[in-house]
Structure 1
Amino acid sequence: MTTREPVNAPVMEPAAGVSSPFRRGVLYLGGYDPVAPEKFFGRLARELGHFRETWGVAATPAPARPSDDGQVWRTEIETRGDGWNAVTDFRLLAWDDLVKGDFARPIWQRIPLSLGLLADFLFSGTILRYFLAAWRFGLYFVAPFFFSLLFVVVAAIAAALVLRIDHWSAPWIAPALFLAVYLCLMRWPGNRWFVSHLLDARVFMGEYMRGGRADMEARVDRFAREIVDLAATPGLTELLIIGHSQGSVFALESLERALALDPDLARRGPPISVMTVGSCVLQLGLHPAARTLRARAQRLLEERGIEWLEFQTLTDVVNFYKTDPARLMRLQPSPGRTFPHVINVRIREMLQPTDYSRIRNSLFRVHYQFVMGNTRRYFYDFFLICCGPVGLRERFSLQKPPQESDRPGT
């Protein structure tokens, strides 16, 4: 594993005399999030404003439009800086409809599913592996189960108080009160603490791991075809597949399936890189039953034309900070091959002090900073990676502190 501490990037500019734009294809896979594509692209346009202000560039997105099946949304972003320009074909691989379908399930279905998932990950030793690898993620994983249990205890206390009343109706009222109190707590403060959301996310990933989500399997196959399609675009300089949060798992899986569709995918056309941020790869990768995921990751490791860069940070409890996913998943190493390249970053350095102070105590806002606009110049910048004139591999191949005057070609 190549682990890099937070440093600033070197100055990298387009080669002298090059006037043609840097053309990049980006396929983005988000996490277990019910946000509709329209709202996602609204946020993207807003965050591009921070990018423009921070780096002094012009960045113009075209209106986002869906594919015929609505599973892929696409926009083009044209970016111009001092002496360079870049064109990004940005595609969102959407699966928010599956998340909303999970949210629509009644609670009498969702609670048993979450308890079954907890038992599975507990008795398989996976939760213990979380704590050994990254204890902050371990706490994050068990948190919604803890809060749900806490709500059960509070509801049980309320029911017990009713049973102490010497009245014939007490045995009938107590169970109804227990259920009412529990449901109310799951709604508030449960919704504020994302308890149901996180329980559903854990169930979803567990079901997918064990082959119980045919809907997501079909979606990942669809994403694989999109990768093959985008890679065939003439004149493309770079193909970048980005997975955020749970989307990191599907970024790897969809690329491996794309290789199954086109074995020469990484041997012709643009260089292909996978970038995982706020990664949950080890959420499944550490489970004994995740053999398919590990086999697919091994397949990517053996494909020398593909690079995997994983960005980790201490501040985000959702990722596995300072870990080597390949080693912990016990992938077979390849001589002379670093896969993935692990690069440590600091969220604090991405934002102005006032901006960081505003979000530092918001777990999910910090988690999403990986894919939002910086308000301070820093070597990791999501939009500089997606819209700048230098490829991901070249950007992180050298290390040298930049100056405040560095242009966004870094």
Structure 2
Amino acid sequence: MSGKPDGDAPRVLTSRIVFYLPGFDPRDPETYWGLFRREARFTAARRGAAITVGDPVRSADGVELAWTADSRGVSTRYVLLRWEDIVRARFPQSDWTRLRGVPALLWRLWRTGYMASLRREGWRFSTVIFCVHYIYIALALLSLAAAAGLAALAPAAAQPWALVAVPPLAYAILAGLIRATRGKPLYVPHLVDDTAFTHSYAAGEAPEIDPRLDAFATRIHAAEGEADEVVVVGHSSSSFLGIEVLDRVLARDPGFGCRGTPVSFVSIGSVIPWLGLDPAARRFRDSLLRFGRATQIGWLDVRATWDWLSIHKNNPITACGLAPPDPARPSVRWVAIHELITSADVGRRQWNLFQMHFQLLMASQRDSGFDYLDVVTGPEPVHALVAGCREDGAPGL
């Protein structure tokens, strides 16, 4: 899966705590436990190593859902840090909120040069994101045209009233079209609302997230010394939220990660420039730069060129217009699609962008190569994996 770091071999690992931060996902956290348990069975079968997954337990304060995974002499406590309630408050937005918000946001992003910057940094990602917004605008115009066409069919005597009915009728047609495009392959409302959240957060207009990030930071800080290593995993939007959380931990305790318990951050399906390129995201860029200097916490960026819902061209610090304190940070693990699924599966799944985006969190269909379940439950320390990966590896295709 990776090389070992130079020098002495790491001490034998017997315990690990993994904090997993999901992306912009409204589903119950038990969904992730079910996914973890199912994929662990696949990994165990393909790698010839039993993985025992315990039942999930919600904390009394509702901040976490945790379970255990025992494999090959290592006991892993897997802690999902919850913010699906915040996602549910923002997805789905009302049709009226989208109708007002989408043109205003696109205008701001174009006027500030953000759209061009994102296109240069991640053309596939920007194509998906902005095309979805253009589809939304097209659906709104189609709804208006359809409503106007229906009004034109009304008898002449009813024409004045028919014209008055055009806006509410168009609104109703748009609501139906949005529900029809909520799922695959377009996911229009999900990606539109996710984008709205990201740029609201960039501008400091998502105050409800700050107390939750503080609670996450408290959990992670308290874990130091409780296991042989601490790992924080940020998937998708939590690639930038995870950095914010760890920056808060370090602000409270600059010595965190220096007292004998290795701490690693693993960003998967990263979209850091999605936030960091927004001119309004000054606070995040400050956090990103501070985290770039915090070498006591290892950082591994797991990248896949075939994941159109991630941004993976450059060092994420450089991609946000900053000078990286250490060009070799983060370490990078490129993952080729053939490490995970068969050619036949690629043909079936490649246009299901959300399924491909989650593929890095699933078991590999091979007995070697990258396997997320093997990384977070196996005997190789994650901090050794971080040290063993080098940014000059060839991109996975």
Q: TM-score, normalised by structure 1?
A: 0.87
Rate the CA distance shift 1:322–1:79 in 2: closer, same or farther, 3 A.
Answer: same
Aligned residue pairs, count: 382
**Does 1:201 pair with 2:194?**
yes
What's the counterpart of residue 364 of structure 1? 354
In the alignment, residue 197 of structure 2 is paired with which amino acid?
F
| Residue aligned with 1:58, SS | coil
Q: Describe the shift of the 1:91–1:391 C-alpha distance in structure 2 as closer, same or farther (beyond 3 A).
A: same
How far apart, in 2, do the equivalents of 1:86 and 1:277 lie?
A: 23
Could you tell me whether the CA contact under 8 Å between 2:277 and 2:320 is conserved in 1? yes
User: Distance between the aligned counterparts of 1:211 and 1:342, measured in 2?
Assistant: 30
Q: Any unmatched runs of 5+ in structure 1? A: 1-7, 401-410
Q: Which amino acid aligns with 2:136?
A: S
**Which structure is richer in relative contact order (CA contacts within 8 A, separation 6 or more)?**
1
Question: Is 1:219 paired with 2:212?
Answer: yes
Matched, 1:341 2:331: yes
Matched residue, 1:240: 231
Which moved further from structure 2: 288-297 or 324-333?
324-333
Aligned counterparts of 2:344 and 2:183: Cα–Cα separation in 1: 27
1:93 aligns with 2:81: yes
Q: Distance in 1 between matches of 2:173 and 2:3?
A: 57
The offset of 1:168, in angstroms, is: 3.1
- The amino acid across from 1:330 in the alignment is G
Which letter does structure 2 place at the counterpart of 1:137? F
What residue number does 2:170 align with?
Answer: 178
* Counterpart residue type for residue 279 of structure 2: P
The structure 2 residue matched to 1:265, chosen from 256, 270, 273, is: 256
SS at match of 2:157: coil
Matched, 1:128 2:116: yes
Provide the rounded CA distance (Å) in 1 between the counterparts of 2:268 and 2:121: 17
Q: In structure 2, the residue corresponding to 1:88 is in which secondary structure?
A: strand
Aligned to 2:56: 64
Question: What amino acid is aligned across from residue 71 of structure 1 in structure 2?
Answer: V
Alignment of 1:387-398 (within 5 A): 387-395=377-385, 397-398=387-388
Structure 1 residue 92, shift from structure 2 partner: 0.3
- Equivalent in the alignment of 2:25: 33
User: Secondary structure at the residue paired with 1:273?
Assistant: strand
Q: Is the 8 A contact 1:322 1:344 kept in 2?
A: no
Pair 1:232–1:118, CA change in 2 (3 A):
farther
Superposed CA RMSD: 2.3
1:104 deviates by 5.5
Rounded Cα–Cα distance in structure 2 between residues aligned with 1:143 and 1:348: 28
Alpha-carbon separation, structure 2, partners of 1:125 and 1:217: 27
How far apart are 1:116 and its partner, in Å?
Answer: 2.7
**What displacement does 1:390 show?**
1.0
Once the two structures are superposed, what CA deviation does each residue of 1:31-76 show, in whole Å capped at 9, x if it has no partner? 0001101222111111111111121111111111111211111111
Q: How far is the alpha carbon of 1:21 from its aligned partner? A: 5.0
3-state DSSP of counterpart to 1:369? helix
SS of 2:328 mapped into structure 1: coil
1:98-125 deviation line (CA, Å, top 9, x unaligned):
1112236432123323333222222211
AA matched with 2:140: V
Quickly say closer, same or farther: Cα 1:217–1:260, change in 2 above 3 A: same
Determine if contact 2:339/2:369 at 8 Å carries over to the other structure.
no
Structure 2: distance between partners of 1:352 and 1:196: 31
What is the Cα deviation at residue 346 of structure 1? 1.3
* Distance change (3 Å), C-alpha of 1:356 and 1:162: closer
Equivalent-residue separation in structure 1 for 2:350 and 2:385 (angstroms): 27
Question: Kindly tell me: are residues 358 and 144 of structure 1, through their superposed partners in 2, closer, same or farther at Cα, counting changes over 3 Å?
Answer: same
Deviation at 1:264, TM superposition (A): 0.9
Q: Which residue of 2 aligns with 1:250?
A: 241
CA positional deviation for 1:188: 1.0
Q: Cα deviation per residue 1:125-183 (whole Å; 9 max; x = unaligned)?
A: 11111111111011112122111111122213213323444523231343333222211
Cα deviation, residue 378, structure 1: 3.8
Following superposition, the deviation at residue 190 of structure 1 comes to 4.1
Task: Say whether the 8 Å CA contact 2:300–2:386 is kept in structure 1.
Answer: no
* Cα gap change, 1:110 to 1:269, in 2 (>3 Å): farther
Note the residue ranges of structure 2 that are not aligned, 5 or more in a row.
391-397
Counterpart CA distance in 2 for 1:176 and 1:87 is 58
Q: CA deviation at 1:370?
A: 1.1
Runs of 4+ in 1 over 6 A off after TM superposition: none
Q: What corresponds to 2:140 in structure 1?
A: 152
Contact 2:21 2:238 in 1 (8 A): yes
Q: Distance in 1 between matches of 2:289 and 2:13?
A: 35
Counterpart selection for 1:298 from 260, 264, 289:
289
Match of 2:126 among 125, 130, 138: 138
1:191 offset after TM fit, Å? Answer: 4.2
User: For the residues of structure 1 that align with 2:103 and 2:220, how far apart are their CA atoms?
Assistant: 36
CA-to-partner distance for each residue in 1:208-246, whole Å, 9 max, x for gaps?
A: 11111121111111110011011231xx22211111000
Query: What is the TM-score normalised by the length of structure 2?
Result: 0.90
Structure 1 equivalent of residue 308 of structure 2: 317
- Residue deviations 1:186-205, cap 9 Å, x none? 11134442211111111111
Q: Would you say 1:228 and 2:218 are equivalent positions?
A: no
Aligned to 2:363: 373
